[in-house]
Amino acid sequence: MTRELRLAVLGVVGLGAFVVIMIFVGSIGGARPDVDPLSVTEALADGRAADRWGDAEVHVSGWYAELDGDCIGDGGGADATVNWLQRDCPLRVLMPAQPTEDVSQEELLRDGLVLAAPLGNAFPSRATPDGPNLRGGQLVFVGHFDDTAAERCVPERVEGCRNTLVVNDYDELVR
């Protein structure tokens, strides 16, 4: 066996040993609870999400749906410090199951977890201006309930504002 061949074999064996060690180290312990996302059903269980989760950061997984052009409602009023939280449209929700292409606004509001973001840029981009903006796979949204802006919502919308997931970021669900 030549010197170069021995070095090549030694390099491959060393790389294999490194991979085995990394797999072993990565498998030690369970998943961290703060990274194990809640399902939409878990996030909405026991009534009001704001009372259960407060303003702690949560990770929630589900199927994203958005209505914009087909959405019926208002833009949240003139107060820019809170209109992003109390507006009806565009409607962005996280659903416990994949919605159909003909999902209605009523179904989304009934079954979904309403999402909002101060700048509106924490959401997937739209493919078309009308119809539901649906994703083929689950997404995980990171955010919190009971945002401080909720106290500035109009009185009849305060409870809805408190129970809206204010989104910081999202990613695809990786199992």
Residue 135 tokens, joined = 């994703």
Q: Give SS3 for 88.
A: coil
What's residue 34's pLDDT? 53
Which element (helix H / strand E) includes 95?
strand 91-95
Residue 128's pLDDT is: 66
d(CA 81, CA 116): 13
User: How many alpha carbons lie under 13 Å from residue 28 in its C-beta half-sphere?
Assistant: 5
* Cα-to-chain-centroid distance, residue 59: 7
What tens-digit pLDDT sequence spans the chain (175 residues)? 899 988 888 999 999 999 888 888 877 766 555 568 889 999 988 778 889 999 999 999 999 888 876 677 777 776 778 888 888 888 889 999 988 888 888 998 899 999 999 887 778 877 666 666 777 678 899 999 999 999 988 888 899 999 999 999 988 866 5
- Dig out the tokens for 154 from the structure: 């109009």
**What's the pLDDT at 175?**
55
Q: What's the confidence (pLDDT) of residue 33?
A: 54
Q: What is the pTM of this model?
A: 0.74
Give the pLDDT score at 58.
92
User: Are 83 and 76 contacting, i.e. CB atoms less than 8 angstroms apart?
Assistant: yes
Q: What does the alpha-carbon distance between residue 131 and residue 174 come to, in Å, rounded to a whole number?
A: 27
Q: What is the residue extent of each domain of the chain?
A: 1-30, 38-172
**67 near 89, Cβ under 8 Å?**
yes
DSSP 8-class letter at 50: H
